Amino acid sequence: MADKNVLIIGGGVAGLSAAVELANLGIHVELVEKSNFLGGRAIGYACKAIENTCVKCGACMVEEKLQSAVSHSNIKILTGSQVQNISKNHRFTASIQQEPLVIDREKCTNCGLCLDQCPIDRAILQGFSKNNHPFYAVNKERCLYFKDQSCTICKDECPETAIDLEKKASEHTIEADAVLIATGFQPFNPKDKPYGYGRFKNVVTGLELERMLKQSGRVKKPSGNKLLQKIAFIQCVGSRDVKLNHLWCSKVCCGSALRMARLIKERQPETEITFFYMDVQTFGKDFEQFYKEVQENIRMIRAIPGDFYEMDDQRLKVNFVDNPTHETIEEIFDLVVLYVGINPIEDIGTLSRMFKIGPDEFGFLKTDDKGISVSKTGVFTAGTVQGPMSISETIAGAGSAVWKILKYFGE
Ligand SMILES: Cc1cc2nc3c(=O)[nH]c(=O)nc-3n(C[C@H](O)[C@H](O)[C@H](O)COP(=O)(O)OP(=O)(O)OC[C@H]3O[C@@H](n4cnc5c(N)ncnc54)[C@H](O)[C@@H]3O)c2cc1C
């Protein structure tokens, strides 16, 4: 197998898992990741263990895969990179465009001085895992140097001279015997829903809440560190929505939100949590017991609220129809968390044309279940690029993609 090379597009948990499995079999892997950091969405998720007892949220598995991938000698990683073209003549030949690597991986010691000294908010980005080296990246959209060259503070202050703001983009050519597309999902953007997302400070998404918990261990109001008494969780934002023609269930959000609500309740027992939902998706074999415990501490309301209003003190007025009485109730919350659904990524059309795999009716890139058509072309898919799934399902699916690749190689 040492003569085989696989190109993996996407460095989330799907791409990382497949890379590690292939690499362990002696296959060379070239992993191309669009963003500056590996780990995909799930590397920003908080561990939801209660009193050191694992609740199987999957967050730690992503870190494990990331750690194994970055230290594996059979895996070559290109971050800030995208496939521009691909052709096949026995093998695949892919041209890759890589953004300038402004922070030198070899020189950077992850000291964080660049972030501390930078005068512009979010001009230096920070990853969620220190296994991502460097742990920092320059955000060209916000950096003053890339706007008008008026600031070089990060470069000047870096004690390791690891920052080169004039670094140019580079091009690479990769030869591969098979390609795995693991480009993941796009969270639904709730800005067009009547929930004030992007306008009201104290309306956040479930993914933003995950990152907040991962970074600081507690929930705070984005408007300021004032008392947090009441949180509303709203499920199915952008999922099972006829008006949007997003009819699918994102499957993972109920489990994720309920585990999160229980974690917050344990860490901040003074906070009251209300959970607005349509139906609760069951998950895992311990679901019944878990759900019973959750209902003792979390107020469950089977309704999806209508419009929200922001009050002068930045709390939120939420209207909903009470299910048994059909009365409209108005209630005030300090923080509202929107559990946004799993959508196909925006450039799914480009990938679909490049690899000649048609998206399914919802826009996800599905492989043939029997693996027939796909295994003949040498192009495979894994993870949420195929549709909603959890971290453990993603890892299992990546394993199955590896098996199909081996079958394609005739092993
Ligand atoms: C609100 C919410 C909460 C969730 N909570 C949980 C939970 O508690 N437990 C759980 O098990 N699951 C949870 N999930 C699901 C979990 O996020 C996914 O299972 C997991 O992220 C799937 O990994 P992936 O690798 O398929 O995709 P992603 O995490 O999306 O990673 C894909 C990677 O591909 C890269 N990429 C995209 N396009 C390109 C391109 N053209 N070229 C190169 N790279 C590209 C992206 O930058 C990204 O790094 C949740 C999902 C949501 C929406």
> In CATH, what number is assigned to the domain containing residue 309?
3.50.50.60
Q: Specify the residue with its C-alpha closest to ligand 1, atom 15.
A: 390
pLDDT at 286: 79
Mean pLDDT of the chain, nearest integer: 93
pLDDT in tens, 337-353: 999 999 999 999 999 99
What domain range is 321 assigned to? 188-342
Tell whether 402 is covered by a domain: yes
Is residue 229 located within the same domain as residue 353?
no
6 DSSP 8-state letter: E
Q: Which of 391, 393, 395 to mutate to test the pocket of ligand 1 (most atoms within 8 A of CB)?
A: 391
pTM for this entry: 0.94
Ligand 1 neighbour 301 (Cβ under 6 A)? no
Ligand 1 neighbour 253 (Cβ under 6 A)? yes
Ligand 1 neighbour 82 (Cβ under 6 A)? yes
Tell me the C-alpha to C-alpha distance, in Å, between residue 321 and each of 32, 103, 324, 326, 374: 48, 52, 9, 6, 48
Q: Specify the residue with its C-alpha closest to ligand 1, atom 24.
A: 184
Q: What is the mean pLDDT of residues 212-220?
A: 93
Is residue 85 located within the same domain as residue 14?
yes
Query: Per-residue confidence at 375, pLDDT binned at 50, 70, 90?
Result: low
Helix (H), strand (E) at residue 234: strand 230-237
Q: Domain boundary at 303, 325, 342, which?
A: 342
User: Which range has highest mean pLDDT (175-179, 254-258, 284-288)?
Assistant: 175-179
Phi, psi dihedrals of residue 122, rounded to the nearest 5°: 65, 20
pLDDT at 373: 46
List CB contacts of 115: < 8 A, sequence separation 6 or more. Answer: 124, 126, 136
pLDDT at 341: 93
Question: What's the structural domain count of the chain?
Answer: 2
Q: How far is the CA of 388 from the centre of ligand 1 (A)?
A: 9
**Looking at the predicted structure, is the pLDDT value of residue 24 above 90?**
yes
pLDDT at 299: 95
Q: Give the integer Cα–Cα distance in Å for 103 and 154.
A: 10
Least confident stretch, 129-133, 145-149, 222-226, 327-331: 222-226
pLDDT at 346: 93
Q: Domain boundary at 297, 320, 342, which?
A: 342
Tell whether 114 is covered by a domain: no
Q: Which of 248, 256, 262, 352 to mutate to test the pocket of ligand 1 (most atoms within 8 A of CB)?
A: 256
Q: How far is the CA of 45 from the centre of ligand 1 (A)?
A: 10
Q: What is the mean pLDDT of residues 232-237?
A: 96
Ligand 1 neighbour 79 (Cβ under 6 A)? no
Is residue 278 located within the same domain as residue 330?
yes
Ligand 1 neighbour 46 (Cβ under 6 A)? no
Is residue 16 located within the same domain as residue 78?
yes
Is residue 328 located within the same domain as residue 397?
no
Q: What is the mean pLDDT of residues 359-367?
A: 86
Contact 359, 365 (CB under 8 A): yes
**Looking at the predicted structure, is the pLDDT value of residue 149 above 60?**
yes
CA-389 nearest atom, ligand 1: 19
Tell whether 130 is covered by a domain: no
| Structure-token pair, residue 201 | 């400070």
Phi, psi dihedrals of residue 106, rounded to the nearest 5°: -70, -35
Ligand 1 neighbour 99 (Cβ under 6 A)? no
Ligand 1 neighbour 315 (Cβ under 6 A)? no
Is residue 321 located within the same domain as residue 366?
no
pLDDT in tens, 71-115: 999 999 999 999 999 999 989 999 999 999 999 999 999 999 999
First to last CA, the chain: 9
Q: Is 393 exposed, middle or buried (0-12, 13-18, 19+ CB in 10 A)?
A: middle
pLDDT at 52: 86
Q: How far is the CA of 191 from the centre of ligand 1 (A)?
A: 20
Is residue 177 located within the same domain as residue 284?
no
Which of residues 248 and 366 earns the better pLDDT score?
Answer: 248
Q: Within its chain, how far is the Cα of 173 from the centroid? A: 27
Q: How far is the CA of 303 from the centre of ligand 1 (A)?
A: 28
Tell me the C-alpha to C-alpha distance, in Å, between residue 161 and each of 100, 153, 154: 16, 12, 10
pLDDT at 370: 52
Tell whether 309 is covered by a domain: yes
pLDDT at 225: 67
Query: Per-residue confidence at 372, pLDDT binned at 50, 70, 90?
Result: very low
Q: How far is the CA of 28 from the centre of ligand 1 (A)?
A: 24
Tell whether 104 is covered by a domain: no
Tell whether 118 is covered by a domain: no
Is residue 311 located within the same domain as residue 198?
yes
Is residue 235 located within the same domain as residue 195?
yes
Q: How far is the CA of 66 from the centre of ligand 1 (A)?
A: 13
Is residue 363 located within the same domain as residue 394?
yes
pLDDT in tens, 263-298: 999 999 999 999 999 988 877 777 888 888 888 999
CA-32 nearest atom, ligand 1: 43
List CB contacts of 383: < 8 A, sequence separation 6 or more. Answer: 10, 12, 13, 14, 15, 182, 184, 389, 394, 397, 398
Tell me the C-alpha to C-alpha distance, in Å, between residue 282 and each of 47, 256, 258, 276: 20, 11, 11, 16
Q: Give the integer Cα–Cα distance in Å for 25 and 276.
A: 46
Is residue 313 located within the same domain as residue 370?
no
Q: Which residue's entry shows tokens 């009470």?
A: 322
pLDDT at 374: 53
Q: Domain boundary at 304, 319, 342, which?
A: 342
Is residue 249 located within the same domain as residue 326?
yes
The radius of gyration of the chain's CA atoms, rounded to the nearest angstrom, is 23
Query: Per-residue confidence at 325, pLDDT binned at 50, 70, 90?
Result: confident
Ligand 1 neighbour 186 (Cβ under 6 A)? no
pLDDT at 368: 59
CA-205 nearest atom, ligand 1: 1
**Looking at the predicted structure, is the pLDDT value of residue 335 above 90?**
yes
Q: Which of 66, 174, 185 to mutate to test the pocket of ligand 1 (most atoms within 8 A of CB)?
A: 185
**Looking at the predicted structure, is the pLDDT value of residue 244 above 80?**
yes
Tell whether 13 is covered by a domain: yes
Tell whether 111 is covered by a domain: no
Ligand 1 neighbour 78 (Cβ under 6 A)? no
What share of the chain in percent tops pLDDT 70? Answer: 97
| Structure-token pair, residue 360 | 């399914």
